[in-house]
Amino acid sequence: MYTRRWAVITLVVLLSAAVDAKPVPIGTVSSCKAATIHGTNLVPGTTIFSGDTIHVGAQGNVWIAVEGGGQVQVPENSTVVLTKSPDSTRVTVDRGQAQMNSKGVVINSVSLEDIRSQVGAKVDLDKHKDTDRDKDRDCEVSKDSRRIRPCRDDID
């Protein structure tokens, strides 16, 4: 009887926690060029939340100041997903590469296992060399970002 009651209470608590779950901020874009987040143009100062996907196009670049100090750099033709774990910020490189200069950031890839995650490490994934596929990805953006305009360094 008590077991069932506790199970119900636990379930309710878990569900309410899930409903109230707010996105966890990871950092801020300190500088960017030719980059999008979920298909929308990225601008400096934008807050990055856990689970956000950043896509950097040709001749683009993004610097993200992560909470707790340090920065992550995402160079051109790269796609990364940033997630927050209890002890670190995780950068999952889906395409291209990413660099960081902080111990609190761990870079890994979707499929490669030999990923270095020490300070100053650089992950380069050439697994997606299919340029046609890259072009398709570039097209998979919203109408808003189809009005291609460079990511401005300052919005004023």
**Rounded-to-integer distance, Cα 73 and Cα 97, Å:** 9
The answer to whether 82 and 67 have CB atoms below 8 angstroms apart is no
Residue 55 CB, nearest approach to another protein (Å): 13
Nearest CB to another protein, comparing residues 103 and 127: 103
Nearest CB to another protein, comparing residues 63 and 88: 63
Residue 122 CB, nearest approach to another protein (Å): 12
**Rounded-to-integer distance, Cα 154 and Cα 131, Å:** 31
Of 46-65, which residues contact another protein (CB under 8 A)?
Answer: 46-47, 49, 52, 63, 65
Nearest CB to another protein, comparing residues 39 and 128: 39
Of 67-126, which residues contact another protein (CB under 8 A)?
Answer: 69-71, 73, 101-102
- Which residues are CB-contacts of 63 (< 8 A; sequence separation ≥ 6)? 29, 30, 31, 32, 71, 72, 73
In angstroms, what is the C-alpha Rg of the chain? 18
**Rounded-to-integer distance, Cα 94 and Cα 100, Å:** 16
Nearest CB to another protein, comparing residues 37 and 107: 37
Return residues touching another protein (CB under 8 A).
Answer: 22-23, 25, 28, 30-31, 37-43, 45-47, 49, 52, 63, 65, 69-71, 73, 101-102, 142-145, 149, 154-156
